[in-house]
A and B are shown apart, each in its own frame.
Chain A
Amino acid sequence: MTGSAHDARAFEHTTAAMTPEWLFEGEEFAWADSAYTVNSRTIPVHKKPASLIPENTHFDKTVAHLCVRSEHCMGALKGRFQCLRGLRVNINIKADHVAACQWITIAIILHNLIIDVEGAESAQEFLPSHSREELDDRGVAHPPLPIADDDPETKRKQLVHEIVEYQNLRQSR
């Protein structure tokens, strides 16, 4: 996808979004940040104004804590293979776009290979070399996308309910 595409728009074209059955089974789903659209397989954090409701705020905070892992993953990827911070590929014909994507593919393959060989800890040392620019690319209004789902919110509501219940339980102890 080209850079002008918003996260949600780019995501629509991934295998994970087009054929979720391939990736998930049963009740499984994925976390995402507020740029994504909610459905039973994708659970993003709330956007304003829904994010101002106290229950939702607590939910969002917990999810954000989880999502930090994926930001770390990007940080490690760009920190190790810094070619991704300024890709030197001239895009003049269609094939060049594919070539540019190949750089990203290779970096991801190697990243996974390194984690298989050395474990996730090895990536940590590359984090400081990557600035936290990732964090400010959200919160942009994007028209909700029509999704064939009875109520896309059902699962998220259930999750919010669970965390709130757990919190109450902890407080009453």
Chain B
Amino acid sequence: MRSTMPCQTVHKQTKCAYIFYMILRDLFTPTTNLKDLCHQHDFDMRVLLTIKQRRYINGRSPVLKLGNLSLAWEFTQSPSDHKHFVNMLRVSPKVFDTILCLIHDHPIFYNNSNNPQTDVQTQLAVTLYRMGRYGNGASLEDLAQDAGFSEGSIENFTEHCFTAIEGLHDTFVRQLTPQEKEVEKRWMDEHLGFVGTWREGWIMYDGTIVVLYKRPGLDGDAYYTLKANYGLNAQVSSY
């Protein structure tokens, strides 16, 4: 059965235990010699001070990390394994290299400390791995175990990559050039079999709900959707 006592810090527990030991010791083996008593007192004080000043009393063992990201790099070796790479990182090795090439110079990946960041390749891999998962597979703990980094690092990697990729926004999310519009309009002509005002409709709108994994703490009701879940409405134009 769990103790109903209020939770005590390890420091407090250790201190109490030591004081208890002092009481028992002095009761059963009292010191009569003044010199010994002084010595004893001095020692006790030092022990109590050490307990107070030491940050970690039990010592902390590092969390074991054994990632399997290197598997992804192995998969790039032969084209027959590329589908495993896609399954893991959601993009083909070619696209991966393209993204890497576009973002690896971003200043966010470099700090002036003596402790350089994890290489950009790994940071991007972790981010893509994270973006390809939802539910408890996307929890920081699971991700940390799969990737072989700490939970905090996973958060940092994602943040870095997001900042770098956001810088590409205007390059890839942009207005179509007249030539590109013409290509879309031609497609429409061929699809329909006649040329008319219909070809001017080169774009389509649609909305989609991006479901959230739990009810937001702020304005939760505003996120409640028709399908009895909580989500964001994203409006997408496609062509």
Instruction: List residues of chain A with CB under 8 Å of any chain B CB.
Output: 1-7, 10-11, 14, 16, 22-23, 26-33, 35-36, 42-43, 62, 66-67, 69-71, 73-74, 77-78, 80-94, 96-97, 100-110, 112-114, 116-118, 122, 125, 133-134, 137, 140, 155, 158-159, 162-163, 166, 170
Residues of A within 8 A of B91 (CB): 80, 110, 114
Instruction: Decide yes or no: A88 and B235 within 8 Å by CB, A93-B218, A96-B218, A112-B173 being known contacts.
Output: no
In the bound complex, do residue A32 and residue B224 qualify as a contact, i.e. CB atoms below 8 Å apart?
no
Residues of B within 8 A of A33 (CB): 206
Instruction: Decide yes or no: A82 and B173 within 8 Å by CB, A10-B233, A31-B204 being known contacts.
Output: no
In the bound complex, do residue B172 and residue A113 qualify as a contact, i.e. CB atoms below 8 Å apart?
yes
In the bound complex, do residue A7 and residue B218 qualify as a contact, i.e. CB atoms below 8 Å apart?
no
B219 lies within 8 A of chain A by Cβ: yes
In the bound complex, do residue B134 and residue A82 qualify as a contact, i.e. CB atoms below 8 Å apart?
yes
Please tell me the number of chain B residues within 8 Å of chain A, measured between CB atoms.
70
In the assembled complex, the CB of B162 is this many whole angstroms from the nearest CB of chain A, namely 5
* Chain B contact surface mostly: mixed
In the bound complex, do residue B222 and residue A94 qualify as a contact, i.e. CB atoms below 8 Å apart?
no
7 residue pairs of the A-B complex, CB under 8 angstroms, read A1-B235, A3-B211, A66-B201, A82-B132, A86-B135, A90-B216, A96-B216
A22 to B201, CA, bound (A): 15
In the assembled complex, the CB of B25 is this many whole angstroms from the nearest CB of chain A, namely 52
With A3-B230, A87-B213, A137-B209 given, name 17 new contacts (CB 8 A): A3-B222, A11-B235, A23-B237, A26-B200, A28-B202, A31-B203, A36-B205, A77-B236, A78-B208, A82-B131, A87-B231, A109-B173, A113-B98, A113-B168, A114-B95, A118-B94, A118-B95
